[in-house]
């Protein structure tokens, strides 16, 4: 099993290219199930989760070709011969549930295993099911599988989500593109990945308005066609690498970044004493002067502070001047990185969904263990600023969300390497 060894060695300088968004690509790929014509995605990230979704689509009869070293995906669902998304694949990744809406809309039936994914708390399918039922689907849970059918086809409806769920918004949005009549989604998620999905669906012929706001209107069409669509920049990878010069000092330009993708996050960086400047190529990030100031953070749905950047922000706050309070409002069990940071000398007190971090002058390298995707990279960030060597084990989590992480950090001067069986 691989580990990553990090040795703190001062400021980082240079450029880091930011990949296409994992969460966007995993949503865009199931959209191919809505049409019998090819869907081509460019700027695709090269991650294990993408391979898992490729395997799932292949099991349904979809043809997926990976071109240009994996950055272009060409998919065709003209010959779907299976409507069962099997547990052996779905359990590996929660985003697998996004095949439910498209299959139900196009085929009129689907059987999808309940999903798996990271151990960061319960993320039930309730809102997905409620939304699809409002469109006329009949759904039963039997033996761990959702059995869904729409014998009369899906019909437009007004749906108000009790929570602005990204996954439920995506699943119901895709299904509604082929429903008869008009569908209105209220309290819809507003994330850039939702807008990216809507842009792709419009290229395929869907009629969608209001994406990016809390109310999305979809006018159903009889069929969707093929399209070519570029995957939006990964705002979580972007935010992660923006924190590298914040933690270590120096100046790093994140290529492809835009402030609009991370407005609330950039505001917190500014309050902490970190400069973020838009350039023609992306975002340039540097400490303004002196030690980082402590800031309080509360995770919220977009456009609020992203839950997927909470662990990385905690790593920054570990050496900030003062005490910060990080409140997790999206997922429970998402402070599992805190005990590992404590092993490095951080002062963190976790009470329920709140973590209080009192900054120390310097962290110390130590052997630590990654517990989930974002925790993995938070420990690497902490190691970059620590005195001595940090050994991060169980980094297979990283491969789900960050491509070439060692190469990208090395490119700006970090001392980091991936090792086996150490």
**Which H or E run contains 363?**
none
Hey, do 2-19+293-420 and 22-230 end up sharing a CATH topology, with the first three levels equal?
yes
Question: Annotation-wise, does 23 bind a ligand?
Answer: yes
CATH number for region 2-19+293-420: 3.65.10.10
Question: Annotation-wise, does 399 bind a ligand?
Answer: no
Question: Annotation-wise, does 394 bind a ligand?
Answer: no
Q: Beginning with the edge strand found earlier in the chain, give each strand of the sheet holding 145-149 in spatial order.
A: 84-85, 109-113, 145-149, 138-142
Question: Annotation-wise, does 94 bind a ligand?
Answer: yes
The residues annotated with a catalytic role in the active site are 118
pLDDT band at 331 (very low <50, low <70, confident <90, very high): confident
Whether the pTM exceeds 0.85: the reply is yes
Question: Annotation-wise, does 102 bind a ligand?
Answer: no
pLDDT at 386 over 80: yes
CATH architecture assigned to 22-230: Alpha-beta prism (3.65)
Indicate the domain borders of the chain.
2-19+293-420, 22-230
pLDDT band at 116 (very low <50, low <70, confident <90, very high): low
d(CA 172, CA 229) in angstroms, rounded, equals: 20
Sign of the Cα torsion 144, 110, 102, 28 reads positive
Q: 75 and 57 in contact (C-beta within 8 Å)?
A: yes
Question: Annotation-wise, does 289 bind a ligand?
Answer: no
**Which range is least confidently modeled, 128-132, 216-220, 331-335?**
331-335
pLDDT at 311 over 80: yes
């Amino acid at each position: 099993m691989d580990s990553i060894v990090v040795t703190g060695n001062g400021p980082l300088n240079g450029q880091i290219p930011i990949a296409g968004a994992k969460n966007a690509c995993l949503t865009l790929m199931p959209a191919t199930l809505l049409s019998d014509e090819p869907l081509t995605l460019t700027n695709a990230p090269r991650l294990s989760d993408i391979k898992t979704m490729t395997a799932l689509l292949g099991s349904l009869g979809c043809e997926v070709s990976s071109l240009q070293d994996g950055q272009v995906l060409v998919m065709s669902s003209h010959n779907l011969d299976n409507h069962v998304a099997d547990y052996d694949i779905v359990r590996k990744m929660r985003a697998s549930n996004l095949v439910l809406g498209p299959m139900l809309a196009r085929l009129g039936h689907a059987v999808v295993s309940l999903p798996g994914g990271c151990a960061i708390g319960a993320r039930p399918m309730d809102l997905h099911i409620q939304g699809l039922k409002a469109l006329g689907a009949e759904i039963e849970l039997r033996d761990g599988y959702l059995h869904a059918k729409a014998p009369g086809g899906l019909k437009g409806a007004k749906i108000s989500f009790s929570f602005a769920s990204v996954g439920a918004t995506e699943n119901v949005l895709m299904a509604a593109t082929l429903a008869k009549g008009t569908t209105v989604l209220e309290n819809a998620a507003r994330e850039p990945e939702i807008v990216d999905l809507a842009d792709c669906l419009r290229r395929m012929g869907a009629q969608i308005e209001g994406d990016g706001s809390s109310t999305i209107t979809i006018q159903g069409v009889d069929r969707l066609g093929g399209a070519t669509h570029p995957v939006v920049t990964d705002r979580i990878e972007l935010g992660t690498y923006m924190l590298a010069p914040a933690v270590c000092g120096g100046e790093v330009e994140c290529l492809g970044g835009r402030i609009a993708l991370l407005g609330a996050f950039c505001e917190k960086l500014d309050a902490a004493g970190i400069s973020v400047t838009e350039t023609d190529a992306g975002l340039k990030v540097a400490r303004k002067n002196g030690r980082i100031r402590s800031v309080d953070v509360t995770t919220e749905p977009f456009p609020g502070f992203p839950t997927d950047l909470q662990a990385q922000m905690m790593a920054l706050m570990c050496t900030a001047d003062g005490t910060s309070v990080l409140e997790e409002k999206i997922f429970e069990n998402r402070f599992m990185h805190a005990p590992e940071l404590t092993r490095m000398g951080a002062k963190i007190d976790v009470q329920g969904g709140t973590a209080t971090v009192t900054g120390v002058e310097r962290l110390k390298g130590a052997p630590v263990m990654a517990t989930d995707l974002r925790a993995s990279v938070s420990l690497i960030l902490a190691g970059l600023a620590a005195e001595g060597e940090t050994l991060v084990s169980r980094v297979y989590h990283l491969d789900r969300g960050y491509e070439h992480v060692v190469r990208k950090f090395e490119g700006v001067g970090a001392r980091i390497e991936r090792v086996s069986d150490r």
